[in-house]
Structure 1
């Protein structure tokens, strides 16, 4: 009978076929993989996606934060799921340096009480046709209108707008 020792787990002692330390590592890895697969399945269900790739850390993705292709795809998710829309200015890296852009984020509540953030980059100047999308209108839900007051109308009738001459 030949007994072996494991290079990764020397304290596990000698064994015949399988190192107990490696067996525990394998079990832990399998359980973690099952948990991650179940989490991805829940995300796919919540987001209504058929396929959900592994998170890409270079894009800032995590299990609870995912990137979509463009603002129209984010708008489709917003129309289907609702949620809270926010923006922030970010610096993105590319092969030759960095550039500044606006990141639009949609926070979608999940059935288990958590949230999933879905984000994309948006350039308002380059994509002016997207200003009417519901996801963008959700950023500014109430249009700002200024109603003239009686004093403003009176000043306008007199032909000047200087407050120091008002009675």
Structure 2
């Protein structure tokens, strides 16, 4: 009787484990894998920007970013995941200065393009943050953070090149 109860209790758990073992193994879930790794990041002018490590966690369902800026004392982290309900990638960035940024979007070709919702700046105008990660043929990744107004680029906040940390 004890063996039967144990089997009846464990069988649903084993079936759940089998059904969820590869929940995030689709090509869509792997669309941002080109960013996974340890990186040395430089600004567009070649000066050091910082170091970034992106790892897959939670059975491959989450990409966690850990950023350390070349500017002393500035760090941040992001959680990135594919939201099956909205059919979009989402990112939540939080840094040690208390700032946060929420983005969403998808991969198009060799680019992951994520944008914020529209927000009102202190100047009273409405803007959108757009960050594009481009997977280059040589294995590097370019990250371009732009601020847009009416679909027009108003400012580039960051343009960095990621090279794998050897």
- TM-score normalized by the length of structure 1: 0.32
User: Could you say which structure has the larger radius of gyration?
Assistant: 1
- TM-score normalized by the length of structure 2: 0.32
Name the structure where strand makes up a greater proportion of residues: 2
Name the structure where helix makes up a greater proportion of residues: 1
